[in-house]
């Protein structure tokens, strides 16, 4: 069947197409596709609330993604009618009005959501928090030298069994659980749990790669499980490392907001388990994150003349535990 289009007249809702078929003038009205729509089971909620999300008007049987503000929450697939149904958990690190976006290719729909402000909880008496004068020892490799006279030990959470933690606590020391929260380490027992899509560029250490901290939907369960391990072994606190990826060449377009959201999630997750938590480096965000963390662990602020950036912790009565790696520094250098 052959025809020739004579005229295409458009309105906002339909198109009138006139076609000559076999010498007969035919008219047909084609209805434009409805714009994509997004609906939520609730327009407001608190962190960790579960919200149902449904969409319609998208391309059929297509892959899409859900984004909460700047944070990617997960993926979905539309059905044969271009609809989908999913659920989200309201992430930490947001307050007030946030836009939830569902996107399929270049087509998207949005819905407004209000993250209810929550009063900051009073410091729990069940969480040990180090005093500014706490002495410490950090040892991340080998058998822990337990004879060091230190009030706090920072040791690897995976490599050390509960018996080591128990032994250190028996002599009166507190024990911090070191984990990497911002990098993938291929030798860890949970390495297979990290999807390939969250693995970025090497961070310069053998077997390690930066993580896409925007994918809280994928990383949060892994990090919660790691903190559960720390709690089960009897640790008092967590030292999550590599939490400044946004300022490094990770292979992902991470923003400062992405990092703040992820780091606040880590702090909230630790506190929910009765564990204190330290901020490792991430100097540019100290002022914003000091209220959420109980202490700081810093590398080489004296060597690079950066110690003043850590003053928000000291002003708040929270300790800063510093690590230097030799060089030309002398003991007289270590004065703030």
At residue 163, does pLDDT exceed 90? yes
DSSP-H helix ranges across 106-183: 162-170
Q: Which among 234, 236, 190 is positioned nearest to 211, based on CA atoms?
A: 190
CATH number assigned to the domain with residue range 136-333, chosen from the 4 options 3.40.640.10, 3.40.50.300, 3.20.20.70, 1.10.260.40: 3.20.20.70
| Range from 83-97, 165-179, 223-237, 259-273 carrying the lowest mean pLDDT | 83-97
Residue 23: predicted pLDDT: 41
Strand partners, 84: 55
Q: How many CA atoms lie within 13 A of 3 on its CB side?
A: 13
132: its two tokens = 């500014």
CB 201 within 8 A of CB 182: no
At residue 70, does pLDDT exceed 90? no
Mean pLDDT of 208-226: 96
Residue 72: predicted pLDDT: 79
Mean pLDDT of 44-66: 88
Mean pLDDT of 126-147: 96
- Going by C-beta distance under 8 Å and a sequence separation of 6 or more, which residues neighbour residue 256? 246, 284, 285
Mean pLDDT of 5-25: 38
Question: 164 φ, ψ to 5°?
Answer: -70, -45
Going through 127-258 in order, the beta strands assigned E by DSSP cover 136-139, 152-156, 174-180, 183-185, 199-202, 208-211, 237-241
Q: 88-91 — which CB contacts under 8 Å span 24+ positions?
A: 88/50, 88/51, 88/53, 89/48, 89/49, 89/50, 89/51, 90/45, 90/46, 90/47, 90/48, 90/49, 90/50, 90/51, 90/115, 91/47, 91/216, 91/261, 91/265
| Range from 38-42, 75-79, 122-126 carrying the lowest mean pLDDT | 122-126
Residue 102: predicted pLDDT: 93
Q: 79-82 — which CB contacts under 8 Å span 24+ positions?
A: 81/56, 82/36, 82/56, 82/57, 82/58
At residue 129, does pLDDT exceed 60? yes
Confidence tier at 8 by pLDDT (50, 70, 90) = very low
* Cα-based angle 211, 52, 217 (whole degrees, multiple of 5): 10
37-115 CATH fold: Immunoglobulin-like (2.60.40)
Strand partners, 51: 88
Confidence tier at 254 by pLDDT (50, 70, 90) = very high
What's the mean pLDDT when you consider all of the chain? 87
pLDDT in tens, 262-293: 999 999 999 999 999 999 999 999 999 999 99
Residue 73: predicted pLDDT: 79
- Burial call 61-100: b when 16+ CB within 10 Å, e when fewer: eeebebbbbbbbbbebebeeebbbebebbbbbbbeeebeb
pLDDT in tens, 18-33: 333 344 444 444 445 6
Rounded CA separation 220/114 (Å): 22
Residue 104: predicted pLDDT: 93
CB 135 within 8 A of CB 152: yes
Residue 118: predicted pLDDT: 54
At residue 103, does pLDDT exceed 60? yes
| Range from 121-125, 164-168, 270-274 carrying the lowest mean pLDDT | 121-125
Mean pLDDT of 81-100: 84
Ordered by start, the domain boundaries in the chain are: 1-32, 37-115, 136-333
At residue 318, does pLDDT exceed 90? yes
Question: CA 182, 186, 189, 194 torsion: positive or negative?
Answer: positive
At residue 122, does pLDDT exceed 60? no
Please give the share of the chain, as a percent, with pLDDT higher than 70.
84
Question: CA 233, 235, 279, 308 torsion: positive or negative?
Answer: negative
Strand partners, 178: 156, 239
């Amino acid at each position: 069947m052959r025809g020739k289009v004579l005229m295409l007249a458009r309105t906002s809702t339909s198109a009138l197409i006139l076609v000559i078929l076999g010498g007969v003038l035919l008219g047909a009205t084609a209805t434009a596709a409805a714009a994509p729509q997004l609906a939520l089971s609730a327009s407001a909620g608190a962190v960790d609330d579960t919200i149902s999300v449904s969409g319609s008007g998208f391309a059929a049987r297509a892959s899409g993604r859900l984004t909460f503000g700047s944070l990617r929450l997960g993926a979905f697939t539309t059905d044969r009618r271009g609809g989908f149904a999913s659920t989200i958990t309201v992430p930490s690190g947001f307050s007030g009005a946030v836009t939830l976006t569902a996107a399929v290719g270049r087509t998207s729909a949005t819905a407004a959501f209000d993250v209810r402000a929550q009063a900051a909880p009073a410091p729990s008496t069940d969480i040990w928090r180090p005093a500014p004068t706490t002495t410490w020892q950090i040892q991340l490799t080998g058998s822990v030298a337990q004879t060091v006279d230190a009030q706090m030990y920072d040791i690897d959470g995976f490599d050390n069994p509960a018996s080591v933690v128990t032994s250190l606590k028996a002599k009166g020391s507190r024990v911090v659980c070191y984990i990497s929260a911002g990098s993938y380490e291929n030798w860890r027992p949970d390495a297979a749990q990290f999807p390939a899509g969250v693995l970025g560029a090497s961070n310069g250490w053998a077997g390690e790669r930066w993580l896409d901290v925007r994918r809280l939907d994928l990383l949060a369960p892994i990090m919660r499980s790691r903190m559960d391990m720390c709690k089960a072994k009897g640790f008092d606190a967590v030292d999550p490392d590599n939490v400044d990826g946004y300022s490094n060449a990770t292979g992902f377009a991470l923003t400062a907001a992405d990092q703040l959201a992820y780091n606040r999630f880590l702090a909230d997750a630790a506190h929910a388990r009765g564990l204190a938590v330290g901020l490792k480096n991430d100097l540019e965000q100290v002022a914003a994150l000091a209220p959420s963390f109980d202490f700081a662990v810093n590398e080489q602020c004296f060597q690079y003349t950066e110690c003043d950036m850590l003053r928000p912790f000291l002003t708040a009565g929270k300790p800063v535990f510093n690590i230097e790696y030799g060089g030309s520094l002398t003991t007289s250098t270590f004065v703030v």
